Structure 1
C-alpha cells in the first residue's frame, strides 16, 4: 500500500510539473510578445496617407446603452482617427436613452466626420449587444465593420493598422496598397477578424476596479497575447473587433435551439441566444477557415468604480459561461493561476528532486508578479497619456488580492449556473445559450 501511494504521488508530480512548465511557457511567451510588439512606438499605417478612393471604407459601430464611465471621451476617439474613409454609427435600442444627448453633442463637435445615430428596439435574442447591432449591420455603408464597446477608447492610428493587418492577411503578394484598393471579403485561409488586447483604465478608483485592472492588464493580457501568437485556437474578446459583414452573413447559427426551428436564422441574428456572442462569432469564423490577426494597439477599456462584490460577480459570470463551452480548460484553470500553480510546481519539484518546497513557492510567486507587472508596463508604453497611471505598489496590492480571490471565485462560479447581466438574471444552458429566468 505505501508503494502504491508513492507511485501515485510520483506520477501526479510528473503531471503537475509538466502542467506547471506549460503554464510558464505560455506566460513567458505572452511576456515576450508584450515586450517586442508593444514595448515600442507603433509604426504609422501606410494606408493613412492614401486618397479615400484607394482604401477600403470602414463602418465603425458603437452599440450604446446608458451612461458608461468616461463615455464622451471614449466615443470621441473614433472621431479623431487617422484614416481617410470611414463612417460612425452610434446604435441605440431606446429613443430615451441617457447617452443620446452625449452622442448628439459629439456629432455636433465633429461635423466633418460622417456619423449618425440609429435607434431600433427590435430584439432577436437575449443578447442586448446583438439586438443593438442588427440595424447598423443592415445600414452600414461599407462591408468592413469595426464594432467597439461603449467603454473602449482607441488611438488615432489604430484603424489604419487594422486595415493593414486585414489586407496583409489576404494573400496575393506584398503590395498592401494594391490589395487595399481592390478590397474583397475574405475567403478560407485569409484573415477574417482583426482585434486588440484589452487593457483597463481606472479613473474612479475602488478596490473592485483596481483588482479588475490588475487582472486584465497582467495575467489576462499575458495569456491572451500568447494564445493568439501561437494561434492554435480562437481566443477573442469583443471589446474591439473588425470583420466583414459578408462573412458574418454567411455564418450558420451555432445555437442548437435555433437550428431546431423550422427556419433558423443565419448571420448575426443566429448569435442572439448567447451571452458571449463575441467569442461565439470569433470561434465560428475561425472554424469556417478564417484566421485572426492582432495589431500592436490596445483597446483601452474604461472601468467604472466596481465594488469587490461586483468584481467577483463579473468574474464568476464568465467562468459560468466558459464551463459549458470549454469544460476541460475551465476545470484545470485553478492550476494555471499563480498561487495554486506555484504550490503544485513547488510540491512536484520537492517530490521528484527533493528540492525544498517553501523557497521554490516564494520564488515562483515573485517571478509571476514580476512578469505580470512587466506585461502591464509594456502595454501602456504608447498610451501613457490616456488615463491615470497606477503605481507599482498599488498594482502589487491589487494583484495580490486578485490572486487570493482566484480560487474562491472559481469555486463559487463552478457550483452555480445563473448570472446577473444588465440588471436581469439568466441561466447558462449546456449549449452555451442564456435563458432569462427573472
Structure 2
C-alpha cells in the first residue's frame, strides 16, 4: 500500500511540474507569437484570393457590426459567401442590407443547406463551399469580428508547408460579469493549452476562424467528408497533419463578439466542448481534471506533504497565488492592451472559473449527449456523431 501511495505522490508532483512548464511556455510563446506587426499591403506582391464562408442562423444585437467588419477588410481579393439554412431566417435581411451598403464587395447568399452528414454547420456551408472560386477558404463563425488587417495577417502565415492557419479563440471587450468570465477563460485556461499545444506541434485547431488550402481539402473529399463529426475542425486539422502539412496560429486572436452573453450559455458551451474532447480523446477523462488549478494544487499539496512533510495548506495557497499571477500575466499578453475590467473583477471571475471548471467537466461526463441549438447528438468513441432526436420544428 505504501508503495502505491508513493507512486501516486510522485506522479502528482511530476504532472504538477509539467503544468508549470506549460504555463511558462505559454507566456513566453504568447509574447513571441501574438500581436506581431503586420506588413503593409503591397501593390507589387500577388496575394491569393480567399473565399469566406459565413454560416448564419438567427440574429443578435452584434450581428450587423460583426458582419460589416468583413466588408471593410484591407485585402485585395476575396469573396464572402453567406450560408443560411432557413429561407425565413431573419439574418437574410441583415445580409441583404449589407450587400446594398457595400455593392463593390464580392458577396453571395446561399439559402438552404445540403444534407451531407449530421453536422449542421457543414450541411449549412457545403453549397457555398462547392461554389467557392478561390484557392484559400476562410471558415468564420457569425460572432467573429475582424480588424482591417486580420485576413492579411492570416494569409502571411500561410507558408508553402502550411495547410491551415487558425486564430486562437479570444473575445472582444464587452461589459458585464459574463463577458469578464469569457475573457478570463479564453485568455488563461484556453490560451495556456492553445499556445502550448501550438508551440509543441500538437493539434489544437478550432474552427471558429480558420484559413484552409482548398486543394488539400479537396484531396480529402471536400468539406462534406467531415460532416459525420461534430468537431469537424479537429478532424480537418488531423487529416492535414497526417498528410504532412503544418498548421499555425495567426498572430491576431479571434475576437468573438456574440450578442448572446450570459453565464449559463457560456457554461453550456464549455460543457459541450468537454463532451467532444472526451469522445475524441478518452484519456482526457483522467488528465483534463488534473489540469485544473484547484484540483492539481490539492493533489500536489498532498504529495509534497506525504513525501517531504511540507505543510500542505501553505503549499496549496502558494500554488494558487502563483497560478493566479501567471494567469494575469498571460491574459495581459493575449489582450495586448488595458483590460476592460478592474483587478477585483478579475479575482472574482478567475476564482469562479477555476472553482466551476471541475464541476462542468463532471457534468459533461454524467450527461454525454450534446445539445446543439435545437438538436441532440450522441458521440461514439472517435468523435463520430449520431442525431438521437429529430429536429424540433418551431
Please, which of 196, 211, 217 is the counterpart of residue 242 of structure 1?
A: 211
Deviation at 1:354, TM superposition (A): 2.1
What secondary structure is seen at the aligned counterpart in 2 of 1:49? coil
Q: Tell me, yes or no, if the aligned pair for 2:83 and 2:113 is still in contact at 8 Å.
A: no
CA RMSD in angstroms comes to 1.9
Please, which of 12, 16, 19 is the counterpart of residue 15 of structure 2?
A: 19
Distance 1:312 1:37 in 2: 29
Residue of structure 1 equivalent to 2:191: 221
Please, which of 361, 366, 380 is the counterpart of residue 429 of structure 1?
A: 380
Corresponding position: 1:285 with 2:240: yes
Distance 2:116 2:227 in 1: 6
Corresponding position: 1:88 with 2:80: yes
Deviation at 1:202, TM superposition (A): 5.6
Distance 2:266 2:83 in 1: 27
Q: Deviations over 1:310-340 (max 9, x none)?
A: 3332222121111121011332111111101
Residue of structure 1 equivalent to 2:2: 6
Q: Deviations over 1:276-327 (max 9, x none)?
A: 1111111121112111012210100114444443333222212111112101
Residue of structure 2 equivalent to 1:353: 308
Corresponding position: 1:371 with 2:326: yes
Unaligned runs of 5+ in 1: 171-189, 252-265
Deviation at 1:51, TM superposition (A): 4.7
How many equivalent pairs are there? 389
Residue of structure 2 equivalent to 1:178: none
Please, which of 123, 141, 163 is the counterpart of residue 149 of structure 1?
A: 141
Bigger Cα displacement from structure 2, 313-322 vs 240-249: 313-322
What secondary structure is seen at the aligned counterpart in 2 of 1:118? strand
Distance 2:124 2:343 in 1: 39
Please, which of 381, 384, 400 is the counterpart of residue 351 of structure 2?
A: 400
Distance 1:206 1:103 in 2: 30
Distance 1:83 1:350 in 2: 58
- TM-score, normalised with respect to structure 1: 0.84
Matches within 5 A, 1:39-438: 42-45=36-39, 48-51=41-44, 54-166=46-158, 169-170=159-160, 190-201=161-172, 203=174, 205-207=176-178, 209-231=179-201, 233-251=202-220, 266-381=221-336, 389-438=340-389
What secondary structure is seen at the aligned counterpart in 2 of 1:55? coil
Deviation at 1:355, TM superposition (A): 2.0
Q: Tell me, yes or no, if the aligned pair for 1:204 and 1:305 is still in contact at 8 Å.
A: no
Distance 1:437 1:242 in 2: 32
Q: Deviations over 1:351-388 (max 9, x none)?
A: 22222211111111111122222222221226x6xxx8
Distance 1:36 1:44 in 2: 14
Q: Tell me, yes or no, if the aligned pair for 1:60 and 1:146 is still in contact at 8 Å.
A: yes
Deviation at 1:274, TM superposition (A): 1.2
What secondary structure is seen at the aligned counterpart in 2 of 1:365? helix
Q: Tell me, yes or no, if the aligned pair for 2:377 and 2:386 is still in contact at 8 Å.
A: yes
Q: Tell me, yes or no, if the aligned pair for 1:203 and 1:303 is still in contact at 8 Å.
A: no
Q: Deviations over 1:145-177 (max 9, x none)?
A: 1111100112111211211111xx31xxxxxxx
- TM-score, normalised with respect to structure 2: 0.93
Q: Tell me, yes or no, if the aligned pair for 1:202 and 1:303 is still in contact at 8 Å.
A: no
Structure 1 residues 42 and 112, CA, compared in 2 at 3 Å: closer, same or farther?
A: farther
What secondary structure is seen at the aligned counterpart in 2 of 1:24? helix
Deviation at 1:206, TM superposition (A): 4.8
Deviation at 1:416, TM superposition (A): 2.6
